[in-house]
Amino acid sequence: MSETWAPSSWRDRPAEQQPDWPDPAALEAVLQDIRRLPPLVFAGEARALKKSLGRVAGGEAFLLQAGDCAEAFGDFSADSIRDKLKIILQMAVVLTYGAGLPVVKVGRIAGQFAKPRSSPQESVGEVELPSFRGHAVNDIVFDETSRRADPTRLVRAYHQSAATLNLIRAFTKGGFADLRRIHVWNQEFVAQSSQGQRYEAIARQIDRALRFMEACGVDLGSDSSIHEVDFYTSHEALLLNYEEALTREDSLTGEWYDCSAHMLWVGERTRDLDHAHVEFLSGIHNPVAVKLGPAVTPDQVLELCDRLDPHREPGRLTLITRLGSQAIEEVLPPLVRAVRDAERSLVWACDPMHANTFATKSGLKTRRFDDILSEIKSFFLVHQNEGTVPGGVHLELTHEDVTECLGGGDEILDEHLTRSYQALCDPRLNARQSVDLAFLLGEMLQS
Reference 417, options 353, 367, 372; nearest CA is 367
**Distance between CA atoms of 437 and 171, rounded to whole angstroms?**
24
CA-to-CA dists, residue 314 to 50, 55, 317, angstroms: 7, 8, 8
Minimum distance of Co ion from residue 428's CB (angstroms): 9
7, 116, 130, 134: residue in contact with ligand PEP (rule CB under 6 A)? 116
Contact status: 133 vs ligand PEP (CB under 6 A): no
Q: Which does 267 bind (CB under 5 to 8 A by kind): Co ion, ligand PEP, none?
A: ligand PEP
Contact status: 322 vs ligand PEP (CB under 6 A): yes
Q: Which does 54 bind (CB under 5 to 8 A by kind): ligand PEP, Co ion, none?
A: none
Contact status: 267 vs ligand PEP (CB under 6 A): yes
Determine the size of the site formed for ligand PEP (CB under 6 A). 9
Q: Which does 291 bind (CB under 5 to 8 A by kind): Co ion, ligand PEP, none?
A: ligand PEP
Task: Tell me if 321 sits within 8 A of 349, measured CB to CB.
Answer: yes
Q: Which of residues 36-75 bind Co ion (CB under 5 A)?
A: 69
Q: Tell me the torsion sign for CA atoms 185, 189, 190, 194.
A: positive
Nearer to ligand PEP among residue 66 and residue 94 (C-beta):
66
What SS3 class is residue 374? helix
47, 133, 354, 383: residue in contact with ligand PEP (rule CB under 6 A)? 354
Nearer to ligand PEP among residue 202 and residue 296 (C-beta):
296
Contact status: 86 vs ligand PEP (CB under 6 A): no
- Spell out the alpha helix ranges (H) of 271-428: 276-283, 298-308, 328-341, 369-386
Nearer to Co ion among residue 371 and residue 426 (C-beta):
426
Amino acid at the residue 124 = V
Nearer to ligand PEP among residue 113 and residue 439 (C-beta):
113
Report angle CA 293, 273, 339 to the nearest 5 degrees.
60
Task: Tell me if 332 sits within 8 A of 303, measured CB to CB.
Answer: no
**Distance between CA atoms of 365 and 233, rounded to whole angstroms?**
26
Binding site for Co ion (CB under 5 A): 69, 426
Binding site for ligand PEP (CB under 6 A): 69, 116, 267-269, 291, 322, 354, 426
